[in-house]
Structure 1
Amino acid sequence: MGERVLACTACHGEQGRATPGGYFPRIAGKPTGYLYNQLLNFRDGRRSYPQMSWLLEHLTDDYLQDIARHFAGLQLPYAPAPAAPVPQALLERGQQLVRRGDAQRDIPACTSCHGETLAGVQPWLPGLLGLSRDYIASQLGAWQTGQRRAHEPDCMASIARRLSAQDVGAIAAWLAVQPPPARIEPAEHLPEQLPLRCGGLQAGSGLGTAVRARVGGPP
């Protein structure tokens, strides 16, 4: 598979480590189900990026599962988080939203889905560490505008549309400067149910259904 996925590493960096600029995200070590769902979404038009869609349009579900398993199995060191001249007030707002959310606006904490350590949860929910500020902000914006979608009920789109532009900037700024540990491993399960029903958890049912109960997904 290492030779077969060289086209992926041209953008996502050697072994999927991400590129120095950070716009193409790290895919090495992401949960298998998450990677598989995103490959499906690019192939089937729920995520919009022509180069990805073109690469995947003729690949079967089984082959996409093989790709997902390959990159999920690559546990590689993370690069240090870049320093950024960000106002302290912005970082504090970002930390509040990530760690505690905003109950008055029905915005759950990022940790309630992506895990207390923000390393993701097996096999569906991605980690949020090691991503660039621009990438995080652009993906939240894509959820807000419908350029990025998941199966209904689309929980991320629902949450993203409750965020203001200032919220998006604060979340992206805080996450981007968090130092990743030497090894990031997704949690095996969340301690509680997800705050919203997420249809995307069903999309990868070919990878197994028992795990949905562990992350509070739809039956």
Structure 2
Amino acid sequence: MASRVQACTACHGKEGRATPTGYFPRIAGKPAGYLVNQLINFRDGRRSYPQMTYLIEHLTDAYLQEMADHFAALDLPYAPPPAPQAPPAVLERGRVLVERGDASRDLPACVSCHGAAMMGVQPFIPGLLGLPRDYLNSQLGAWVTGQRRAQAPDCMAAIARKLSPQDVSALSAWLAAQPVAVGSKPAAALPAPLPIQCGGVMAVPVASASPAAPR
């Protein structure tokens, strides 16, 4: 496995624990279902990054699953976050969107899907802490433009298109500034059903009467 993932660690850092000051995201400790979904999305063209596609375009689902399982099993400490990169008012806007969302725009809180600790949920939902601000900005932008897609219904694309540029900046600034407590891991399950249907996590229950669900 060490030789198989050597190309991964060239960008994602030793053992897949990229630092929050870089661009490439941490993959160590992410849920295996999320990691394999993203590998398949790169291979099958739902995500656009030529270097990733080149590396895995001929790999089978089973081969990619083994790689995902390897990184998911790594239990490694997180680097401290950088100093906040936005004024207090912007950070507060980000915190409110993360913790409460915006019902007036049918925007669910980030915590309603990514978990109260923002560390993700097994087996398919990623954590949002310990990621560089530039990476968070770019991924939200990629959903808006269609450069990043998931299996339909693509819940993150629907959510991202409701965010203003100011919302994106506030979210990424607040998330990137949050420390990760020692021993933090993805939650085993959400305390309530998802507020919106997501094709990449269809095994997770969805609230049947949620105002944020697609109509």
Normalised to the residue count of structure 1, the TM-score between the two structures is 0.92
Counterpart position of 1:196: 196
Whole-Å separation in 2 of the counterparts to 1:26 and 1:20: 8
Alpha-carbon offset, residue 154 of structure 1 = 0.4
Tell whether 2:83 aligns with 1:83.
Answer: yes
Counterpart position of 1:128: 128
For 1:160, the aligned partner's letter is: A
Counterpart position of 1:9: 9
For 2:68, the aligned partner's letter is: A
CA contact (8 A) 1:18 1:24 kept: yes
Q: How does 1:177-196 map to 2 (within 5 A)?
A: 177-196=177-196
Alpha-carbon offset, residue 176 of structure 1 = 0.4
CA contact (8 A) 1:29 1:185 kept: yes
Whole-Å separation in 2 of the counterparts to 1:8 and 1:126: 18
CA contact (8 A) 2:20 2:81 kept: no
Whole-Å separation in 1 of the counterparts to 2:149 and 2:52: 15
Whole-Å separation in 1 of the counterparts to 2:34 and 2:158: 18
Alpha-carbon offset, residue 86 of structure 1 = 1.7
CA contact (8 A) 1:107 1:159 kept: yes
Counterpart position of 2:106: 106
Counterpart position of 2:149: 149
Q: Which moved more, 1:83-92 or 1:155-164?
A: 83-92
Alpha-carbon offset, residue 20 of structure 1 = 6.0
4+ runs deviating over 6 angstroms: none
Whole-Å separation in 2 of the counterparts to 1:196 and 1:102: 14
For 1:123, the aligned partner's letter is: P
CA contact (8 A) 1:11 1:19 kept: no
CA contact (8 A) 1:201 1:217 kept: no
Tell whether 2:30 aligns with 1:30.
Answer: yes
Whole-Å separation in 1 of the counterparts to 2:130 and 2:27: 10
Residues 31-69 of structure 1: CA deviation (Å, up to 9, x unaligned): 000000000000000000000000000100000000000
Tell whether 2:205 aligns with 1:216.
Answer: yes
Q: How big is the alpha-carbon RMSD for the aligned residues of Structure 1 and Structure 2?
A: 1.3
Gaps of 5+ in 1: 203-211
Whole-Å separation in 1 of the counterparts to 2:195 and 2:142: 21
Counterpart position of 2:54: 54
How many residues are paired up?
207
**What's the secondary structure of 2:120's corresponding residue?**
coil
For 2:132, the aligned partner's letter is: S
Whole-Å separation in 2 of the counterparts to 1:187 and 1:84: 26
Whole-Å separation in 1 of the counterparts to 2:96 and 2:153: 26
CA contact (8 A) 2:85 2:173 kept: no
For 2:23, the aligned partner's letter is: Y
CA contact (8 A) 1:31 1:120 kept: yes
